[in-house]
Amino acid sequence: NAGVTQTPKFQVLKTGQSMTLQCAQDMNHEYMSWYRQDPGMGLRLIHYSVGAGITDQGEVPNGYNVSRSTTEDFPLRLLSAAPSQTSVYFCASSTNGRGQPQHFGDGTRLSIL
């Protein structure tokens, strides 16, 4: 049972490069989300989606793009990486509805030089 799978686990980028972080889930969950985790800041919501073709912004969306063409996949795109985007990124999924617990991937550790 794979759950939520994130790739890659680690990545180093140079400022200005673009990259896509991949997230896939095999639980047929409607809701998917991306968080970033920074020391002392907890997890902050970047973007989320309540189903294929529907996305919305979270607390810290600037510099990130998402799309949801299938139920299973929810990629996060950095169009022009900046050092401030150095962080650990987590993808999560759940069934729709208030109060549904989210299932997290193991994270992608991203460093931007």
Which spans of this chain sit near other proteins (rule: CB under 8 A)? 4, 31, 33, 35, 40-45, 48, 50, 56, 58, 90, 92, 96-107
Closest CB to other proteins among residues 15, 57: 57
What tokens does 104 get? 């997290």
For 84, phi and psi rounded to 5 degrees?
-65, -15
**Rounded distance, CA 110 to CA 88, Å?**
6
Closest CB to other proteins among residues 68, 107: 107
**Of 92, 11, 8, the residue nearest 44 (C-alpha):** 92
Closest CB to other proteins among residues 15, 96: 96
Hey, which residues does 104 pair with through a beta bridge? 92
CB of 80 to other proteins, least distance (A): 26
CB of 109 to other proteins, least distance (A): 9
**Rounded distance, CA 29 to CA 26, Å?**
8
CB of 16 to other proteins, least distance (A): 28
Closest CB to other proteins among residues 85, 107: 107
